[in-house]
Amino acid sequence: MQQLHFSYYLDRLSKVAGYLAAILVVLLSLLVAYDAGMRYLFSEGSIALQEIEWHLFDVIFLLGLSYALKHDKHVRVDIFFERYSHDTKATVQILAMLFLVIPFSLIFLNDALDMTYQSFLQHEVSPDPGGLTDRWVIKAMLVFSFVLLILQALSEMLKAYHRLESRKMLWRALGVLVLLGVLVYAAWYSRMAFWLDPVYLMFALALVLLMLGFQVAFVFAGVALFFALIADEVGVHVLEMLPYRTYGIMANVTLMAIPLFIFMGLILEKSKMAENLLISMGKLFGQLRGGLAVSVVLVGAILAASTGIVGASVVMMSLIALPLMLKHNYSPALASGSIAASGTLGQLIPPSIVLIVLGDQMHLSVGDLFKAAVVPGLLLIVLYIVYILIFAYFKKEAAPAIVSDEPYGDVLKAALKAILPPLLLIGAVLGSIFAGIASPTESAAIGVLGAMLLAVFNGAFSFGLVRYASIETVKLTAMIFMILIGATAFSLVFNELGGGDMALAFFAEDMGDKWTFILIAMLLIFLLGFFIDFIEIAFVVVPILVPIVASFGIDPIWFAILIAMNLQASFLTPPFGFALFYLKGAAGDKVSTGAIYRGVIPFILLQVLALGIIVLFPDLIYIFGK
């Protein structure tokens, strides 16, 4: 019990940090919106205010690292993990903390301390006139956040150990790992050569740990540290650059759009917008065969353009639309397929988090990517609707029309009332980006204020809504950026081992054909999408492909859109598509897994068709301008 008391106090630290970060999310949104308004309306700006904004952004995700760990929000591949016994899950958690989180955090902490101390000694200040002084203070947040992460890891170990009903598995696992450690040390001490190239071993070990259910971010970080220790050509000193790379992430204003768009999406999720849209659109199109499924596609598109959060969209529509469709005798396969496919439109349709991350990793303008994604997104929507209408025409009993006594004029008015506010918000957010009036970050902040106004309009605005949205924003943002830190460590060691040069030589010299490269790259991303989330693919795989894309002279914006479309298809593909897990989890026993699989297959084929169209007609992505 004394252990649990100690764990309780450690949890309290993370809870305070998380709540503070949640308050800063709201403050950041207001400051960015205020700054944008002052600059565009009154031509007045402040360098100090802009630097305060990105400092707040840094503090949000850094304080959130331990808070996300406390709530188990650092994602894992749960294909096998969800089937583990209670003791096995606890054992995995202990091993993750002991061998991945704590060792990596200690190494990072040591190097971050050096970086902060050097900044303090040099009296480092902002290089911009009117900027902030004492730059060491924000760098010290790296130190503080990783201290909190280590303390929370200790708490997670204590809680997991207490949950164990039998400790035999834990001691066996520790014994095996100690034995393997001794063997690896003996091999290293005797300078034994690797049986395989360490580049392949890195990926193999990472894949094994991911499939076993260890948290994604900590797998990449821990594997990087392990190979830095055992590979003489690398050495642990290569990770000395990691705090500097992380500081570069912290200063990246483009990435600031991520928490703001998440915050905006979560407010809309809880403001009854989706529920009102689905009910109104269902009545509007219900008298048409397949009309409910068509309304699901259209609502999915609106949610994608206003929230961009795939999991939230799929779950929301599963809870609201699925019972309605089944009640009106829709085919379970068509109902689940249209919900899953429509929910994943947020992967592609702006303001997609995928596109923001790809823009950062491929060094592209996020605004250009948003414009390029509009036509592929519209193409998918049209293909979905055409398929549903054809399916309903030939299988009338699978998608019947709904007879309603309500006057159609009243239905139309209610639908317009539900549709127009989110469309105006989407127009304001995306229009300001496309017109070059505002940056994605500024548009996201304006979008947050617009989402709050919509919540007021729907009578759903409350302190509880803002509290929920800001806290969840902290968790999701911290999860994304911890993966980015882990992936950065992984890429540092991977490139030091010659992995980047190996990939470039394989594609550019051994193949020598850009279409072969595109085919293999798309196939690789598609297959990886079965097992790991888009964030890991974007942070680990995409940077390897970027120099190869440049060497072949491939249009990087077009290639990025192909990746985004590919990732969307992989979200749906059985048996491991994440959207299928979201749908099944929300639907419960309402639909069988087999019905879900049968339902999504036609939509996967439609996505492949859309991908083929964009491959054959690349200029389509530039209809809205370069």
Express as a percent the part of the chain with pLDDT over 70. 92
Question: How much is the pLDDT for 17?
Answer: 94
Is 353 in contact with 258 (CB distance < 8 Å)? yes
Express as a percent the part of the chain with pLDDT over 90. 23
CA 559, chain centre distance (Å): 19
Per the domain annotation, does 419 fall within a domain? Answer: yes
Question: How much is the pLDDT for 466?
Answer: 92
pLDDT band at 282 (very low <50, low <70, confident <90, very high): confident
pLDDT band at 18 (very low <50, low <70, confident <90, very high): very high
Among 597, 608, 623, 568, smallest CA distance to 383 is for 608
| The domain boundary residue, chosen from 198, 216, 251 | 251
Average pLDDT score over residue span 537-545: 80
Whether residue 184 has pLDDT greater than 70 = yes
Question: How much is the pLDDT for 586?
Answer: 65
Whether residue 1 has pLDDT greater than 60 = no
Residue 273 sits in the same domain as residue 317: yes
Residue whose tokens read 């996967």: 604
Digit-coded pLDDT (tens) for 356-410: 888 888 888 888 898 899 999 999 999 999 999 999 888 888 788 777 667 767 7
Question: How much is the pLDDT for 575?
Answer: 62
Residue 103 sits in the same domain as residue 12: yes
pLDDT band at 3 (very low <50, low <70, confident <90, very high): low
Residue 370 sits in the same domain as residue 236: no
Whether residue 80 has pLDDT greater than 70 = yes
Which of the residue ranges 63-72, 442-451, 494-503 would you say has the lowest mean pLDDT? 494-503
Residue 159 sits in the same domain as residue 121: yes
495: Cβ contacts below 8 Å, ≥ 6 apart: none
Per the domain annotation, does 526 fall within a domain? Answer: no
Question: How much is the pLDDT for 142?
Answer: 93
Residue 232 sits in the same domain as residue 308: no
CA 133, chain centre distance (Å): 33
Among 346, 330, 332, 345, smallest CA distance to 282 is for 330
Which of the residue ranges 339-353, 426-440, 469-483 would you say has the lowest mean pLDDT? 426-440
Question: How much is the pLDDT for 139?
Answer: 92
Residue 248, amino acid: G
Which of the residue ranges 42-46, 119-123, 207-211, 613-617 would you say has the lowest mean pLDDT? 42-46
| The domain boundary residue, chosen from 251, 279, 301 | 251
Per the domain annotation, does 501 fall within a domain? Answer: no
- The chain-wide mean pLDDT, for the chain, equals 84
Per the domain annotation, does 530 fall within a domain? Answer: no
Q: Which helix (H) or strand (E) holds 32?
A: helix 2-42
For CA atoms 251, 257, 258, 262, the dihedral sign is: positive
Is 277 in contact with 302 (CB distance < 8 Å)? yes
437: Cβ contacts below 8 Å, ≥ 6 apart: 40, 431
3-state SS, residue 227 = helix
Domain count, the chain: 2
Per the domain annotation, does 344 fall within a domain? Answer: yes
Average pLDDT score over residue span 441-464: 86
Cα dihedral angle (171, 177, 183, 185), rounded to 10 degrees? Answer: -120
pLDDT band at 307 (very low <50, low <70, confident <90, very high): low
Question: How much is the pLDDT for 106?
Answer: 95
Q: Where are the beta strands (DSSP E) in 16-77?
A: none
Per the domain annotation, does 112 fall within a domain? Answer: yes
Per the domain annotation, does 440 fall within a domain? Answer: yes
For residues 58 and 80, give the distance between their C-alpha atoms in angstroms, rounded to a whole number.
Answer: 34
Which of the residue ranges 27-31, 202-206, 428-432 would you say has the lowest mean pLDDT? 428-432
pLDDT band at 581 (very low <50, low <70, confident <90, very high): low
- Max Cα-Cα span within the chain: 84
Residue 330 sits in the same domain as residue 229: no
Residue 309 sits in the same domain as residue 175: no
Let me know if 622 is exposed, middle or buried by CB neighbors in 10 A (0-12, 13-18, 19+). Answer: middle
CA angle (269 as vertex; 263, 272 as ends), nearest 5: 135
Per the domain annotation, does 259 fall within a domain? Answer: no
Question: How much is the pLDDT for 542?
Answer: 85
Residue 155 sits in the same domain as residue 206: yes
Residue 445 sits in the same domain as residue 580: yes
| The domain boundary residue, chosen from 251, 284, 311 | 251
Average pLDDT score over residue span 135-163: 92
34: Cβ contacts below 8 Å, ≥ 6 apart: none
Q: How many Cβ atoms sit within 10 Å of the Cβ of residue 170?
A: 19
Considering only residues 223 and 535, tell me which one the structure prediction assigns the higher pLDDT: 223
Residue 244 belongs to domain spanning: 2-251
Residue 233 sits in the same domain as residue 180: yes
Residue 235 sits in the same domain as residue 314: no
Considering only residues 58 and 498, tell me which one the structure prediction assigns the higher pLDDT: 58
Among 39, 458, 25, smallest CA distance to 258 is for 25
Whether residue 15 has pLDDT greater than 90 = yes
Question: How much is the pLDDT for 117?
Answer: 93
Average pLDDT score over residue span 281-302: 81
Average pLDDT score over residue span 280-303: 80
Question: How much is the pLDDT for 235?
Answer: 80
Residue 179 sits in the same domain as residue 283: no
Whether residue 78 has pLDDT greater than 80 = no
